[in-house]
Structure 1
Amino acid sequence: MSVLFVLLFSFAVAEARGPGLPNVMVLATGGTIAGTGSSSTTVVGYTAATVGIETLLNAVPELKTVANVKGEQVFQIASENMNNDYWLKLAKRVNALLAQDDVDGIVITHGTDTIEETSYFLDLVVKSKKPVVIVGAMRPSTAISADGPINLYNAVILAGSDEAIGKGVLVALNDQINAARDVTKNNTSTADTFRTPELGFLGYMQGNKPYFYRQSTRRHTADSEFDVSNLDALPQVDIVYGYANMNRVAIDAFVAAGAKGIVHAGVGDGSLARPAVEPALDEARKKGVVIVRSSRVGNGIVARNGEAKDDEHDFVVSDTLNPQKARILLMLALTKTTDTKEIQRMFYTY
């Protein structure tokens, strides 16, 4: 996708909006941003997903000054309970809304535990260049210094901005803008938990305006080959974690349970324990299970034919995707093909 095309598309969308405020739809799914605690100092042990969308929006009256905002409660869950069915429902609703001329951008409020997974899933299946921004909070709405309101305010500005057009799905908290593909939760409890290790933020929110300094070079959203419009389910893909003294029990169990793919979160450069693990993965592959080598490290490229002879084993490597995101790409890849060479191409493309 050329830079010129993005600029022309951005200009066209801006012209279509006219001189008024952008129209931003806020889809609520629950999470800490919609959570409540027993007191104003409760920031641990609170209850997530208790506050509805209208209450969230009414708590930030300043939203009316930056966008024409409407809200919709898609579902109400703590994000550790996120599953494939919720993803499919959310993706289809996002695509339906973005196809409307009266929607310029979408904000999704979400729990932080799986925000990186939902954002990457949407990055692969949203069929529009209009902005989609996922936002959450690390403190419940009842806390003294709740971060939800300012995060939501910034997210609406970002979703309504020309600058965010064509940038893919964005994750915006703590005045920082991250790309869905690369962001990960980095701390269990601090407000600056979302980071893009090594590659860095896309930009910042400052003074009611987004500032971008880089963008992802990987294919996403409108340029993606994946389509979930006619899908009612996704293939079963599971993750096996590597560790010292690892055995094959988990691999065999997932295969017996019907896994179509397994992501191995190996040590180091995706290394496989021998003789415990490598033979089990080989046997799984011979049964048709697609194997992806990833790493538990969290940074860097998993090298093909590096710590394993991937060509001989007919394995796929995850490139820089962490295990949880490799699982998402593998699920979507398996909706199109079981050819490992083609799946490897996808991992180097997305």
Structure 2
Amino acid sequence: MPSTLVIKIGTSSLTALDSGHLALSTLATLVETLCQLRRDGHRVVLVSSGAVGVGCRRLGLTERPKTISMKQAVAAVGQGRLMRVYDDLFTSLNQPIAQVLLTRSDLVQRSRYVNSYRTFRQLLQLGVIPIVNENDTVAVEELKFGDNDTLSALVASLIEADWLFLLTDVDRLYSADPRYHPDAKPIQWVERIDQLADLNIAVGERGSQWGTGGMVTKIAAARIATSAGIRTVITEGRRPENILKILQGEPLGTQFAPHAGPVNARKRWIANSLVPVGRLYLDSGAVKAICEAGKSLLAAGITEIEGEFQRQDAVQLCSATGDEIARGIVNYSHQELQQILGKRSDEIAQILGYAGAETVVHRDNLVLAARTLPSG
């Protein structure tokens, strides 16, 4: 059955570690695999790293840039060269592609989020394979994805993908980094990501010389994707043909089970794309009302506020112990909430001097955290 697939390949898989040159054999196999997926009827999006690495090689740099301005300049050099290689390879197989460069702002602002969705939908309807990367040239530090693992998960959520494949420099997730721990045990299936902590899985942050990721970013991406109902796979980037085998049922890589996520696009946007800028701590009654009864958050249930935010900003809703139970869009600024926290809704107008919303976060603008969703 045809599916929508997002495939992310990292710099460590695209380049030779010793020289920084593009690994053309891997690129060619990747392109052949994606074209085969298209012939099989699947809709395919590729999230490709490598622009900074290619730019470094072109400019003769021996290490990855440290400053954002230098990284942006190097990415501008590398992105065009990388796309030229992709275009040559895909053109040889008569497969049209498109370049899509995103910043976090494109997914944070609702109108731009919707526009991005429509663009992807149109490209996929045309049979095009979009090739996505962060727009490093213009991204600002506060609104960066940080790594393409996160970007790929957010794109998968945006387009309501069925599968997210994270291609990396190991063949699957292990109990420890197999490059440094020969006795590391492979993990084939993860039902819930919280299990990894219970199993004391070591996920070091070490990436490659040219990459920004590591296994920790891939698990964070898997958490985003699976909470949106997307089956996620970590598998070997040097063998992109394994994607075809996995879709046919072979137990390759590490697979993460999808979970029932927000059913409508607005709630997926709130859950996955918005960047929370504050935290609201709730009493036990409010936590129960939100998690078990699907209620809105009222001022009476708030015990403490953290951060500075304005109306319509995203915030995390937390239990007294600091665990995130949900996130949502607030109807009051942090200054207003400081005045009305713990108060009944019918007292708000008198305290503030004007009539505000009855709810601090309405249930239509509130999404439960994945770990608090009811099972089954």
Q: TM-score, normalised by structure 1?
A: 0.44
Task: Return the index of the structure with the highest Cα Rg.
Answer: 2
